[in-house]
Amino acid sequence: MPTLSEEELIRESGFVFRGTVQKLKAATMTRVQVSDKTIVVRVDEVLQAPETLEDLTGTDITVELSGRQKVKAGDEAIFYTNGWLFGEGIAVRAVGVRPVKKATRAMLGMSGVAPPKNLRQQKMEERVSSADLVVTGRVTDVRLPADEGGGPMTAGRSTKRSAKAGAAAPGAAKPVRRRPITEHDPQWREAVVEVADVEKGSQKKKVVIRFPSSNDVRWYRAPKFEPGQQGVFILHKTDAAAKPQKPRLRATVTPAEAETSEAYTCLAPEDFQPIQKSSEIKTLVGGANKPDEE
Amino acid sequence: MPAKRASKKSSGGGASKSARKAAPSSRAAKKSAGGKSAAKKTSGKKPGARKGVAGKKGAAKRTAAPKVLAPGDIMIVNMIPRSLSNETHQDSEPHLTVNPNNPSQIVGSAFTRNPFGGPQAPIYVSNDGGRTWSLEFVVPSQSITGDITVGFSGSSQLYTGILRLPGSLRQSILRTNTPSGPTPMNVLVDRANVDQPFVQATTFGSRDRVYVGNNDFTATGGRTATIEQSTDAARPTPTFTKVRIEARGTGSARQDGPQVRPVCHRDGTVYAVFYGWRAFNEGNNEVTADVVVVRDDLGGTGATQFKSLRDAGDGLAGKRVAQGVRFIWADTLGQQRMGGDVSIAADPRNSGTVYVAWGDVRPGTGYTLHVRRSTDRGVTWSPSDLRTIAKATNPSLAINSQGVVGLLYQQVTGTGAGARWVTQLDRSLDGVNWSNLVLARVPAASPLPQFQPYIGDYDHLVSVGRDFLGIFSANNTPDRNNFPNGVTYQRNHDFTTRRLLANNNTTQVGVSIDPFFFKVSG
């Protein structure tokens, strides 16, 4: 397995901390089967973590090493980890372990910053990096998609492109293809965004974004838009290859189909950022990704 | 073999002779199913009745009531581990399974998020009979699942049906023999356009049988209610086949409801209940449906599957226990999005006795649960409700080794700020006389929903011998008044100040929805 760079380790890890190895072949929890790979590490400083785990400084936790990672008692290192087990204590699996002196970027860049902020920053970096289009702008309209029949859980029942979300348009001309009735219906909406600035991707004056308006467990974390909202939109095109190939219930359209190849989507919580973040995102996009001239 | 005999003789739709023999209560129940006199006769005939009802010290007196519980018979545990005391996520829609080879090993599931946001979602695992729980990240789904149910087989394999992320309506059927990890579960099936996979597993002979009820939108003709089954699921690469169990047209609905609930019996019989949708009113989201029970006497191994039970009315497979029931899709009850409820349980002593619960809207009472029973393998049913519960959802039925039926449900009482979600376990030996046990009585107006479903589209109840074990989700305020039969918390808390505390055991943490395990000893 190739050695991961520090940036890759950070990206692959939900929980990054500076710690000191306390015991080898040991664990802090009876639930963990002790092996050559399990060690007890004291958390000296949490560098990147979700809110639920940011206050672990001073705590002994169990770390399972992977591959050829070697440490000895007393070693101080940066541990790049993901969750394994939560019980009376915590056990994590190491994606990577680096001596503190070699982990300069992590130490310099992350130390002293609230761990959840570092995690959010890392996730935003990922989204910006994979985005097809990043724009600053303002939502001027929210509407039903043209190919959206207004399924039963959707607010409107019109095929008219101009129909506003939430406003039913009785007397639609003809029956439309309906999605399956399911509690996980994304209830797709389109937000029309007037573009002020393109940070990444092709120049545009206007962009249409598809977003799930549903608050179902599957979709609740996706940003929801309203007219007048301003900010930075980190957008991805839908993968057309994701369309189902198998036969399906007539008169339905799947969420994958609702995401036409022409549409940009906003699905992750990090995909919309307040306007105050625009300069930070410009920096993330960097010189290598200047907007293309159309 | 009882299943085979029953199958041969009852394939035309009538109750088989052998089934009637196997169910001593069937004649009494037929005469006045659900009636008190029938019930008394029935309970008197049950071989285990005296032992089960009279209590441990043999104060033997025939009675139609289940055992009177002592405080030590009830255990309720908040399942969030201490190391996650900071968490405030909405851990709703729980499910539960017990390893039949090792009842101390219990697995639970819920909409619990991997706090690290990694590629595996968690399950809850207890190795001490539910007293303590840990969260293990073994489910291959990005941080959380879109739906999850769990089922142990008799060979100690854990099967799981999930809606997997990333994806939408992407069903995966998973398997592991080490729920505590660290290896992620094996993916046996992974396909799109399926809703609400509901897993039941058993071992028959030396083979694992797994039945996943789901609403399969790849079905043709709008008959979407499906059992996805494997009759040898422990093989390295098992085959799962899709059995369409809807025999009737679905009218303007063009699909069935998402709840398709199988239940396995050790004699090989498998039942399933589902809403056969018959109409959908796009103007007001009203569903019109039949409550349909299907049965397979050979556990899906015969030439045709789930056609052992036919409706005398139209001759088609699947008995319509209730016809033309109505409810409003995506209506709200106590901050919970509603979409229907069904549950089914078979008597472990005799697969001919089966109970069904469903929900619908009734004038005056609004959303209402109903319970009925068959004692002849689903051919006839009690003509009226054995139990009717207004403003309640999430019914889950189970029957213990003594024939006591348990009904878990969550009911809204009161209004406005005083409204409560009351989680209750009703038990009955005869289906007529019920004893009630309140597990939790928590505020219904707080916390506000983070998403839907608020408490979940289901909870779950199972029986292990005489005991009932279950799981539900509820407001997690550590207030003893909310748990009149006691509760223990793993996460940091202070019962005196009624506050949740963070990992540092000092900082206050906001109230959220947590899963609670319970065990009621029979």
A217 touches chain B (CB under 8 A): yes
Q: What is the pLDDT of residue B64?
A: 63
Burial of B283 (0-12, 13-18, 19+ CB in 10 A): exposed
B157 neighbors B174 (Cβ within 8 angstroms): no
User: Would an 8 Å CB–CB cutoff place A257 in contact with chain B?
Assistant: no
Q: Suggest the residue from A9, A80, A218 to mutate for an interface test with chain B (most B CBs closer than 10 A).
A: A218
Taking an 8 Å cut-off on Cβ atoms, the answer to whether B451 and A215 are in contact is: yes
Interface test with A, best of B83, B126, B394 (most A CBs within 10 A): B83
Strand, helix or coil for residue B422: strand
Q: pLDDT tens digits, residue range B223-264?
A: 999 999 999 999 999 999 999 999 999 999 999 999 999 999
- In one letter, which amino acid is B500? L
Kindly identify which residue of chain B lies nearest to residue A259, measuring between CA atoms.
Answer: B168
Does any CB of chain A come closer than 8 Å to the CB of residue B279? no
Rounded Cα distance, B413 and A55, in Å: 39
Q: Are the beta carbons of B169 and A86 separated by less than 8 Å?
A: no
Contacts of A178 in chain B (CB under 8 A): 254
CA dist., res. B301 & res. B304, Å (int):
8
- Strand pairing partners for B500? B493, B509
In the predicted structure, residue A165 carries a pLDDT above the cut 90: no
Cα–Cα dist B214/B225, whole Å: 6
What tokens does A166 get?
Answer: 């939430």
Nearest Cα residue to B379 out of B304, B303, B313, B289: B313
**Separation between Cα atoms, residue A184 and residue B147, nearest integer Å:** 10
CA distance B56 to B79: 29
- The three-class DSSP label of residue A122 is helix
Q: Find the closest chain A residue to B224 by CA distance.
A: A249
Instruction: Answer whether A215 touches B (CB < 8 Å).
Output: yes
Q: What percent of chain A has pLDDT over 70?
A: 74
The mean per-residue pLDDT over the stretch B511-517 comes to 98
**Shortest Cα–Cα distance, B414 to chain A (Å):** 26
Written as six digits, the tokens of A253 are 């359209």
The pLDDT assigned to A93 comes to 92
Under 8 Å CB pairs connecting chains A and B tally to 168
Residues with Cβ within 8 Å of residue B269, at least 6 apart in sequence: B3, B6, B295, B296, B297, B299, B346, B351, B377
Q: How far is it, in rounded angstroms, from Cα B380 to Cα B373?
A: 8
For residue B368, list its beta bridge partners: B360, B390
Strand order in the sheet with B171-176: B147-152, B158-163, B171-176, B186-191
Distances from the Cα of B41 to the Cαs of B64, B408, B506, in angstroms?
10, 26, 58
Taking Cα atoms as reference points, which of B439, B401, B398, B402 lies closest to residue B421? B439
User: Per-residue pLDDT for B276 more than 70?
Assistant: yes
Question: How close B338 gets to chain A, by Cα (Å)?
Answer: 9
CA dist., res. B42 & res. A251, Å (int): 50
Give tens-digit pLDDT for A236-261.
987 543 343 343 333 333 444 443 43
**Stretch 139-178 of chain B: residues touching chain A, C-beta under 8 Å:** 144, 146-147, 163, 165, 168-169
| Contact between chains at B134 and A31 (C-beta distance less than 8 A) | yes
In this complex, which of B115, B136, B449 lies closest to A52 when CB atoms are compared? B115
pLDDT of amino acid B45: 34
Share of chain A above pLDDT 90, in %: 53
CB distance B28 to B36 below 8 Å: no
Dist CA B343 CA B263 (whole Å): 9
Q: Which residue of A has its CA nearest to B87?
A: A52
Q: Looking at residue A2, what DSSP letter applies?
A: P
Whether the CB-CB separation of A204 and A198 falls below 8 Å is answered with yes
- Whether the predicted interface score ipTM is above 0.85: yes
pLDDT band at A290 (very low <50, low <70, confident <90, very high): low
Residue B56 burial (CB < 10 Å; 0-12/13-18/19+)? exposed
Query: How many C-beta atoms lie closer than 10 Å to residue B204's C-beta?
Result: 21
Per the structure block, which two tokens stand in for B144? 């959380």
| Residue showing tokens 């009226």 | B384
| pLDDT in the model for residue B65 | 78
Cα(B428)–Cα(B372) distance, integer angstroms: 13
Transcribe B265-302 into DSSP letters: -TTS-EEEEEEEEEEEETTTTEEEEEEEEEEETTTT-S
Residues A126 and A134 sit within 8 Å (Cβ to Cβ): no
pLDDT-derived band at A105 (thresholds 50, 70, 90) equals low
Lowest mean pLDDT among A205-209, B52-56, B434-438, B497-501: B52-56
| Cβ contact, residue pair B116, A14, below 8 Å | yes
User: B168: which chain A residues are within 8 Å (Cβ-Cβ)?
Assistant: 184, 186, 218, 254-256
Beta bridge partners of A188: A212
As given in the structure block, the two tokens for residue A108 are 């310099």
Instruction: Give me the pLDDT at residue B116, please.
Output: 85
Phi, psi for residue B509 in degrees, rounded to 5: -115, 140
- Which residues from B are below 8 Å from A31, CB to CB? 127, 134, 180
Instruction: Indicate yes or no: CB of A217 within 8 angstroms of CB of B136.
Output: no
Q: What angle do CA B419, B424, B428 make, to 5 degrees?
A: 145
Q: Using CA atoms, how far apart are residues A21 and A57, in angstroms rounded to an integer?
A: 14
Which 375-414 residues of chain B touch chain A by CB within 8 A?
none
pLDDT of res. A2: 62
**Could you give the strand order of the β-sheet that contains B493-494, starting from the edge strand earlier in sequence?**
B493-494, B499-501, B508-509
Quick one: how far is CA B384 from the chain centroid? 22
* Stronger pLDDT, B378 or B10, i.e. the higher one: B378
Distance CA B240, CA B228 (A): 6
To the nearest whole angstrom, how far is the Cα of A247 from the nearest Cα of chain B? 6
User: What's the CA gap between A213 and B418, in Å, rounded?
Assistant: 31
Is residue B329 within 8 Å of residue B280, measured between CB atoms? yes
Q: By the 8 A CB rule, do A56 and A90 touch? A: yes
Which neighbouring-strand residues pair with A234? A134
Q: Please, which pLDDT band fits residue A108 given cuts at 50, 70 and 90?
A: low
Binary contact (A152, B218; C-beta < 8 A): no
Q: B181 to chain A: nearest residue by CA?
A: A84
Confidence of residue B60 (pLDDT cuts 50, 70, 90): very low
CA B299, B301, B305, B309 torsion-angle sign: negative
Q: Do A249 and B254 touch (CB under 8 A)?
A: yes
Both tokens of B118, joined, read 């990694």
| CB neighbours of residue B18 within 10 Å | 18
- Token pair of B71 as six digits: 């405080």
Does the distance separating the beta carbons of A85 and B134 come in below 8 Å?
yes
Indicate if the pLDDT at residue B22 is higher than 90.
no
- What are the distances in angstroms from CA B175 to CA A13, B170, B260, B336, B425? 26, 16, 20, 31, 30
Question: What digits encode the pLDDT tens for the residues B357-408?
Answer: 999 999 999 999 999 999 999 999 999 999 999 999 999 999 999 999 999 9
- pLDDT at residue B313, as a whole number: 98
pLDDT band of A69, cuts 50, 70, 90: confident
> Of A37-46, A133-142, B39-48, B431-440, which range is least confident?
B39-48
Work out the average pLDDT over B43-71: 49
pLDDT grade for B502, boundaries at 50, 70 and 90: very high
Tell me, what DSSP letter sits at residue B415? Answer: -
Residues 83 through 102 of chain B touching chain A, CB cutoff 8 Å: 83-84, 86-87, 92-93
Closest Cα in chain B to A82: B116
User: What would the two tokens of residue B406 be?
Assistant: 């348990």
Cα nearest neighbour of A11 on chain B: B118
Q: Quick one: pLDDT at residue A52?
A: 86
pLDDT score for A106: 56
Mean per-residue pLDDT over chain B, rounded: 89
Inspect the interface and report whether the beta carbons of B168 and A244 lie closer than 8 Å: no
Q: Are A65 and A91 in contact (CB under 8 A)?
A: no
- B236 in helix, strand or coil? coil
Q: Is A152 on the interface with B (CB under 8 A)?
A: yes
Cβ–Cβ contact A19 with B under 8 A: no
d(CA B258, CA B340): 9
Measure CB to CB from residue B195 to each of A54, A123, A184 and give the nearest one. Answer: A184
Q: What is the DSSP string of B201-227?
A: EEEETTEEEEEEEEEETTSGGG--EEE
How far is residue B471's CA from residue B484's CA, in Å, rounded to a whole number? 17
**Residue A158 is encoded by which pair of tokens?**
């019109």
Q: Kindly report the nearest CA distance between residue A205 and chain B, in angstroms.
A: 31
Number of Cα atoms under 13 Å in the Cβ half of residue B246? 32
What count of other Cβ atoms lies within 10 Å of the Cβ of residue B435? 15
Of A88, A152, A183, the CB nearest to B457: A183
Query: Which residue in B139, B193, B335 has the most chain A C-beta atoms within 10 A of its own C-beta, making it the best mutation to test that interface?
Result: B193
Candidates A185, A153, A155, A186; CA nearest to A168 is: A155
Is some CB atom of chain B closer than 8 A to the CB atom of A113?
Answer: no
CA of B111: which chain A residue's CA is closest?
Answer: A217
Residue B5 — φ and ψ, nearest 5°?
-60, -45
Give A280's contacts (C-beta < 8 A, 6+ positions apart): none
- pTM for this one? 0.87
Q: Is A145 on the interface with B (CB under 8 A)?
A: no
* DSSP alpha helix (H) spans, A150-277: 255-258
Among B373, B360, B358, B369, which Cα is nearest to B405's?
A: B373
Residue of A nearest to B492 (CA): A88
For residues B312 and B388, give the distance between their C-alpha atoms in angstroms, rounded to a whole number.
26
Does the pLDDT of residue B146 top 70, yes or no?
Answer: yes
Which pLDDT belongs to residue A125? 87
pLDDT of residue A5: 84
Question: Who among B82, B87, B215 is closest to A88 (CB)?
Answer: B82
Q: Helices A115-130 & A278-285, crossing angle to 10 degrees?
A: 60
Give residue A121's pLDDT: 82
**Hey, are the CB atoms on B449 and A215 less than 8 Å from each other?**
yes
**Range B14-23, long-range pairs (CB < 8 A, 24+ positions):** B14/B379, B15/B352, B15/B376, B15/B377, B15/B379, B15/B380, B16/B377, B19/B352, B19/B376, B19/B377, B20/B352, B20/B376, B22/B350, B22/B351, B22/B352, B23/B350, B23/B352, B23/B353, B23/B375, B23/B376, B23/B377
* A119 to chain B, closest Cα gap in Å: 9
pLDDT digits (tens, 9 = 90+) for B464-498: 999 999 999 999 999 999 999 999 999 999 999 99
A251 chain-B contacts, CB cut-off 8 A: 254
Distance CA B286, CA B73 (A): 42
